[in-house]
Structure 1
Amino acid sequence: MSSFFAWLKYLMVLVRKEFLTIFSDPANRIILFAPALIQALLFGYAASYDVNHVDYAVLDQSHGQASAQLLQHLDGSGIFNRTATLDNNAQIQHVIDERQALAVITIPSDFEDKLNQGQGSPIQVILDGRNSSTAGMAGAYINNVVAEVNQERSDAMPRINIQSRVWYNPNAESRWGLMPSLIAALSMMQTLLLSALSVAREREQGTFDQLLVTPYRPLEIMIGKALPPIFVGLMQSTIILLIILFWFKIPMNGSFALLYLGLVSFNIAVVGVGLSISAISLNMQQAMLYTFFLIMPLMLLSGLLTPVQNMPPVLEIATYANPLRFGIDLIQRIYLEGATLAQVKWDFGPMFILAIITLPLAAWLFRNRLS
């Protein structure tokens, strides 16, 4: 036991050296933590798929009671904001092109007459398709308002009503699904870059050769260089977690201990990838190039923006080599569902396999570089 503590103390010297290298530069201290804070706030406010405000214009050629009822429902919904009342069809293109309105509703002149005769009367909705997801949701909201008007005007037998419930996100806010994912996604970028630069920095600064004369073995060097990025990654995840909990007030339903066990596993896998990149890079420029080349595919294949199930089969298979896919799934399920270890155990497997592959690979590359 005493020999183990002696070895641990011996290893901590190298870990301390890595921490001093990381935090000695004031610019590094800002770069490591400011992006996590800023990006978490930006994603929380700007990267939301919810449509809470829709600017619309209307061309009412009917000017009847029915059209007034429809427009009253739109204006009173709290979502729709009328930015223009048009006089003719020629004005529609200008309103859309200048982004004065996301939707233009045209009510024909015979709208009231057809309804009074018991006929269906269509209205035209023109949506700005430059943002397809927002336009689609705005169209769905308009359909809901029209359905409410139809229900109020109907004198027939009561219709079947659909009552919806949203599990794990009662208000159906996209922020609730997005923000917990950022606990892994935002910290991964800094952790991957930090670990990728560790050995490359040594080479560029000319201190790499000094490792040749130290008594540290390649495995010990790898551990010494892995622990600081893991620690920084956990600190960044904690910052984002606190923002989600106390700023955006998204409740945490699962276990913090299980969440951090998943984060440790995730960061070990990411650091293994980063150290492998660092070992094959000849300088910091190469390490940064390899890292930025890898970050975007990892993000796209993680399920953060597009569900993995919707990807082509070849890309879906490729996601099994992506630790971010399983890190995001694990964190979302623990945070929102309150999942237990038995329910998320399959997310740990791919991350452990990736760590088992990349960390020995990095150690082997270290050994060959040092020999």
Structure 2
Amino acid sequence: MSTTTRAAVVESGGAPFTLTAVELAEPGPHEALVRVVATGLCHTDLGAASGGLPFPLPGVLGHEGAGVVEEVGSAVTGVVPGDHVVLSFTSCGDCRNCQGGHPAYCATWLPLNLIGGRRADGSSTISRDGEPLGGHFFGQSSFAERALVDERSLVKVDPDVPLESIAPLGCGVQTGVGAVWNVLKPRLGDTIVVLGAGAVGLSAVMAAALTPATRIIAVDRVGERLSLAKELGATHTVNAGEADLGETLAVLTDGQGADGIVETTGNVGVLRQGADALAARGTLVVVGAPPFGSEVALDVNGLLPGKRIVGLTLGDSETQSFIPALVQLVKEGRLPLHRLITTYPFADIDQAVRDMSAGKAIKPVLTF
């Protein structure tokens, strides 16, 4: 039978989040009903809410959920009611990339997670007064007190770790950490540069601090964020509003350039500066997403010394192994995620959006 719950609905592009009663469909064979305890707020949610993504509105967003399993579908094997779970992206499980351990590059990733608003079979997970709403966002739509979640979005986690402290692992944190650990894989003596010290960038800084990289340079325009980056492991910081980025990086790297750069701002001008600041055989990881259709000009001869530019979705992580390991690091205090989090009651979602947009909160987490 269906479940009635309270969700934050966006009625149309640019409209505020409105708390309203919705009906969740009965769990399918590969779905679970989860009581949401906490959910992170991410720029991707704001992008969809603004109408900037072709996600069907009115709809329910939210894709950094964490909660407790209440009910499971007939074919679910990985979790049972009572289990604590972090919710992440979903994937088909059958395509070549899913089979190869790269579910973030699933052949059906876009419709399943970002723009479809429905299950793979076209059926709706959320309705209101009998009318289907956009749902199934990242297989979860967790801006709600209860969420109907795809089995492949569920990651069972240690019940001793408070869920509000690990909700952001599902998207933002694993993206920043994965950029460093799964793509750059720093070697001893490497210089890592992180462009943008928001939630994803600071996660990359924390990850870099747990590698043999010897120089970790954080770049932003907000002084408080650069101070926090230093406390989280950056060896150097650059305020891009006060210094020429290219010249400063050249000085800080002794003219060699950076071995690894993580671009989180989504600004194509910054991306170009990053490409120009690479060392020979260096790698630039593109994480920040500008509007669809954005292009960037590159100096082709500048790339010939073995430079790589790699796009990245969700840290290219295999969530079932990656997220529990991150939970362990949070539990041990080695990944001090609490330094990024500001909590808000679910009813204050619009305040959380305002604080995030104004740069007051790095990673808002809504609590239920």
* TM-score tier (shorter): under 0.3
More strand by percentage: 2
More helix by percentage: 1
Kindly name which structure, 1 or 2, has the bigger radius of gyration based on alpha carbons: 1
Query: Greater RCO between the two (CA within 8 Å, min separation 6)?
Result: 1
Normalised TM-score (structure 1): 0.25
